Amino acid sequence: MIMTRVPMQIQLTQSKKEKPDPATLVFGKTFTDHMLIVDYEEGKGWHSHRIVPYAPLTLDPAAIVFHYGQTVFEGMKAYKSEEGTIRMFRPEENMKRLNYSLDRLCMPRIDEENALYALNQLLQIDKDWIPTLDGTSLYIRPFVIATEAFLGVAPAKKYQFFMILSPVGSYYKEGIHPVKILVENEFVRATKGGTGSAKTAGNYASALKAQEVADQQGYSQVLWLDGVERKYVEEVGSMNIFFKINGEVVTPAINGSILEGITRKSILQLLRHWEVPVAERKISMDEIRNAYENGQLEEVFGTGTAAVISPVGELNWDGYKMIIGNGETGELSKKLYDTLTNIQTGKENDPFNWVYEIKKHIAQLA
Amino acid sequence: MIMTRVPMQIQLTQSKKEKPDPATLVFGKTFTDHMLIVDYEEGKGWHSHRIVPYAPLTLDPAAIVFHYGQTVFEGMKAYKSEEGTIRMFRPEENMKRLNYSLDRLCMPRIDEENALYALNQLLQIDKDWIPTLDGTSLYIRPFVIATEAFLGVAPAKKYQFFMILSPVGSYYKEGIHPVKILVENEFVRATKGGTGSAKTAGNYASALKAQEVADQQGYSQVLWLDGVERKYVEEVGSMNIFFKINGEVVTPAINGSILEGITRKSILQLLRHWEVPVAERKISMDEIRNAYENGQLEEVFGTGTAAVISPVGELNWDGYKMIIGNGETGELSKKLYDTLTNIQTGKENDPFNWVYEIKKHIAQLA
Quick check: A57 and B59 CB within 8 A?
yes
Quick check: B67 and A153 CB within 8 A?
no
Same domain, A25 and A169: yes
DSSP string of A72-113? EE--EEEEE-TTS-EEEE-HHHHHHHHHHHHHHTT-PPP-HH
Query: What was the pLDDT predicted at B2?
Result: 43
CA A93, chain centre distance (Å) = 11
Comparing CB atoms, the residue among B141, B205, B227 nearest residue A191 is B227
* CA angle centred on A52, ends A48 and A54, rounded to 5°: 130
**What average pLDDT score do residues B235-254 get?**
97
Provide the shortest C-alpha distance from residue A7 to chain B (in Å): 23
Q: Is the pLDDT of residue B56 over 70?
A: yes
Comparing CB atoms, the residue among A71, A106, A164 nearest residue B62 is A164
Distance CA A268, CA A227 (A): 25
Q: Is the pLDDT of residue B40 over 90?
A: yes
Highest mean pLDDT among A188-192, A235-239, A279-283: A279-283
DSSP single-letter state for residue A326: G
How do residues B80-129 score in pLDDT, each as one tens digit? 988 889 999 999 999 999 999 999 999 999 999 999 999 999 999 999 99
Same domain, A355 and A304: no
**Cα separations (Å) of B332 from A200, B285, B299, B325?**
41, 22, 8, 11
How do residues A86-109 score in pLDDT, each as one tens digit? 999 999 999 999 999 999 999 999
- Report the mean per-residue pLDDT for chain B: 94
Q: How many C-beta atoms surround the C-beta of residue B109 within 10 A?
A: 12
DSSP string of B158-182? EEEEEEEEEEE--S-TTS---EEEE
Orientation angle between helical segments B112-125 and B91-104, nearest 10 degrees? 130
How do residues A119-166 score in pLDDT, each as one tens digit? 999 999 999 999 999 889 999 999 999 999 999 999 999 999 999 999
Comparing CB atoms, the residue among B71, B141, B193 nearest residue A227 is B193
DSSP single-letter state for residue B30: -
Same domain, B21 and B123: yes
Among chain A residues, the shortest Cα distance to B194 is held by: A188
CA A270, chain centre distance (Å) = 19
pLDDT bucket at A359, cuts 50 / 70 / 90: low
Q: How many C-beta atoms surround the C-beta of residue B7 within 10 A?
A: 8
Quick check: B66 and A143 CB within 8 A?
yes
Strand-pair category, B9-10 with A355-357: unpaired
Same domain, B139 and B18: yes
Q: Which residues, in sequence order, are bridge partners of residue B321? A: B316
Whether residue B254 is contained in a domain is answered as yes
Same domain, A76 and A166: yes
C-alpha closest to that of B272 among B249, B300, B255:
B249
**What average pLDDT score do residues B326-335 get?**
96
How do residues B128-164 score in pLDDT, each as one tens digit? 999 999 889 999 999 999 999 999 999 999 999 999 9
Same domain, B262 and B279: yes
Comparing CB atoms, the residue among A105, A201, A208 nearest residue B155 is A208
How do residues A153-183 score in pLDDT, each as one tens digit? 999 999 999 999 999 987 776 678 899 999 9
Based on the number of CB atoms within 10 Å of its own CB, is B295 exposed (0-12), middle (13-18) or buried (19 or more)?
A: exposed
Q: Taking the CA atoms of chain B, what radius of gyration do you get in angstroms?
A: 21
Whether residue A281 is contained in a domain is answered as yes
How do residues B190-218 score in pLDDT, each as one tens digit? 999 999 999 999 999 999 999 999 999 99
Q: What is the end-to-end Cα distance of chain A in Å, rounded?
A: 16
Q: Is the pLDDT of residue A312 over 60?
A: yes
Q: Is the pLDDT of residue A365 over 50?
A: no
**Residues in contact with A182: Cβ distance below 8 Å, sequence separation at least 6, in sequence order:** A213, A214, A217, A219, A221, A222, A223, A316
Helices (H) and strands (E) in chain A, counts: 9, 19
Please tell me the least confidently modeled range out of A166-180, A280-294, B320-334: A166-180
Domain boundaries, position B239: 179-328
Same domain, A15 and A151: yes
**Residues in contact with B119: Cβ distance below 8 Å, sequence separation at least 6, in sequence order:** B36, B91, B140, B142, B163
Q: Where are the alpha helices (DSSP H) in chain A?
A: 64-68, 91-104, 112-125, 201-205, 208-216, 262-273, 285-293, 331-345, 358-364
Q: Which residues, in sequence order, are bridge partners of residue A181? A: A221, A315
User: Which amino acid is present at B324?
Assistant: I
Quick check: B153 and A105 CB within 8 A?
no
Distance CA A156, CA A158 (A): 6
Whether residue A197 is contained in a domain is answered as yes
Whether residue B334 is contained in a domain is answered as no
How do residues B340-366 score in pLDDT, each as one tens digit? 999 999 899 999 999 999 865 544 444
Whether residue A3 is contained in a domain is answered as no
Query: What was the pLDDT predicted at B359?
Result: 64
**Sign of torsion over alpha carbons A267, A269, A274, A277:** positive
**What average pLDDT score do residues A282-307 get?**
97
Q: Is the pLDDT of residue A2 over 70?
A: no
Same domain, B161 and B188: no
Q: Which residues, in sequence order, are bridge partners of residue B238? A: none
Provide the shortest C-alpha distance from residue A288 to chain B (in Å): 23
Q: Is the pLDDT of residue B172 over 90?
A: no
How do residues A205-255 score in pLDDT, each as one tens digit? 999 999 999 999 999 999 999 999 999 999 999 999 999 999 999 999 999
Same domain, B14 and B145: yes
How do residues B266-284 score in pLDDT, each as one tens digit? 999 999 999 999 999 999 9
- Report the mean per-residue pLDDT for chain A: 94
Greatest CA separation for chain A: 64
Please tell me the least confidently modeled range out of A11-15, A262-266, A357-361: A357-361
CA trace torsion A331, A332, A335, A339 (10° rounding): -170
* CA angle centred on B136, ends B31 and B85, rounded to 5°: 90
Quick check: A60 and B58 CB within 8 A?
no
DSSP single-letter state for residue B325: G
Quick check: B141 and A67 CB within 8 A?
yes
Same domain, B156 and B288: no
Whether residue A336 is contained in a domain is answered as no
Distance CA A72, CA B5 (A): 40
Same domain, A193 and A295: yes
Query: What was the pLDDT predicted at B157?
Result: 98
Q: Taking the CA atoms of chain A, what radius of gyration do you get in angstroms?
A: 21
Among chain B residues, the shortest Cα distance to A204 is held by: B68
Q: How many C-beta atoms surround the C-beta of residue A193 within 10 A?
A: 24
Distance CA B254, CA A292 (A): 39
**Residues in contact with B174: Cβ distance below 8 Å, sequence separation at least 6, in sequence order:** none
Provide the shortest C-alpha distance from residue A89 to chain B (in Å): 20
CATH number for the domain that contains residue A320: 3.20.10.10
DSSP single-letter state for residue B115: H
Whether residue B112 is contained in a domain is answered as yes
Query: What was the pLDDT predicted at B135?
Result: 86
Question: Is residue A310 a contact partner of residue A181, using CB atoms and an 8 Å limit?
Answer: no
Same domain, B266 and B286: yes
Question: Is residue B202 a contact partner of residue A201, using CB atoms and an 8 Å limit?
Answer: yes
Q: Is the pLDDT of residue A364 over 60?
A: no
Question: Is residue B155 a contact partner of residue B87, using CB atoms and an 8 Å limit?
Answer: no
Query: What was the pLDDT predicted at B316?
Result: 98
CATH number for the domain that contains residue A89: 3.30.470.10
**What average pLDDT score do residues B226-249 get?**
96
Task: Specify the 3-state DSSP secondary structure of A345.
Answer: helix
pLDDT bucket at A366, cuts 50 / 70 / 90: very low
Greatest CA separation for chain B: 64
Distance CA B139, CA B77 (A): 4
User: Which amino acid is present at B261?
Assistant: G
* CA angle centred on B364, ends B361 and B366, rounded to 5°: 125
Q: How many domains does chain B have?
A: 2
For residues A346 and B64, which has the higher predicted lDDT (pLDDT)?
B64
Tell me what percent of the residues of chain B surpass a pLDDT of 90.
88
Whether residue B340 is contained in a domain is answered as no
